[in-house]
Amino acid sequence: MKNWKWMISLLVALGLLAACGDPDTETGSDSEQSVETAFPVTITDATGEEVTIDEEPKAIVSMIPSNTEIVYALGLDEEIVGVSDFDNYPEEAEDVEKIGGMEFNVEKIISLQPDVVLAHDSNSTQEDGLKQIEDAGITVVVIENATSFDQVYDTIDTIGKVTGKVTEAEQVIEDMQDGFAEIEEKAATVEEADRKKVLIAVSQMPDVYVAGNDTFMQEMLDLIQADNAAGEQDGFPMLAEEEIVRLNPDTVVVTSGYYEENLTQEWLTHGSFSDLTAVQNEDIQEVSSDPVNRSGPRLVEGAQELAEAIYPDIFSE
């Protein structure tokens, strides 16, 4: 069951289910030196292992879309030479050499001759493949699976140190914090009587998976003064129809990817849900899946889109 929940979380993060530790860091030995040029850099990655990057990377492979979005946000457009099959943002990533999906192509990665491979907690189940890459003399850094804004900041900070883009990473983090602060300021005008109970569905029927506690969407709902109807459960649980009826959300938000159609209509016409407050009021909303799921700078965009869907009178101005 634990492994299944982990897989659901990963599929959501990749956008495939969408209808779907704080690393210790040491700089170089000369503390007076600028951090950007203080190579070699040693960090402790998500596996708990110390990894040393000897020189500023000139060629980078990213094995998951969230890492890729961060790398591009740091201005490393020219350095990224390989990305996963699921990478779709920014647009430039679609033209970069693909290295596989849930199962990565070790030979392809090695052939690209990267200085650093940015792996992810989800790749750690394929230890043999990562070991082959390391045995080829390529540095592998495993990035943690972030489930909160603070952990995303840590991830951006870590990738900034690995790539020599510390100043840029600090700016990205500051911009995110400022963006969330602006949303929070607007949300302060939500009256208690108008506060909504929201169910966020991250998959299509018949198996309705929803965003529970310990997810980015929970943090977004907290930010905008909304209650999570599924907040008593962690991660992305699957809810039976009778449970959804019991929860009776004021608003249902469905996260949509690139291949789903008629999601709103599906909820409005589903017989078992005809008495839901959200259905009665036709308050079924759709938001883009990636910005509310991926652990990167676009989480601010996702929070804004979610806020506009739930409280349009306040956030659509």
Of residues 122 and 279, the one with the higher pLDDT is 279
Give the chain's mean pLDDT: 89
Domain limits of the chain? 10-174, 190-315
Say whether 190-315 and 10-174 share the same fold. Answer: yes
CA atoms 286, 288, 292, 297: torsion sign:
negative
pLDDT of residue 184: 97
Q: What is the pLDDT of residue 10?
A: 60
Topology of domain 190-315, CATH: Rossmann fold (3.40.50)
> What is the CATH class of 10-174?
alpha beta
Share of the chain above pLDDT 90, in %: 80
pLDDT of residue 103: 87
| Residue 161, pLDDT score | 96
Q: How far apart are CA 209 and CA 128, in angstroms?
A: 32
Predicted pLDDT of residue 34: 38
Average pLDDT over residues 23-27: 39
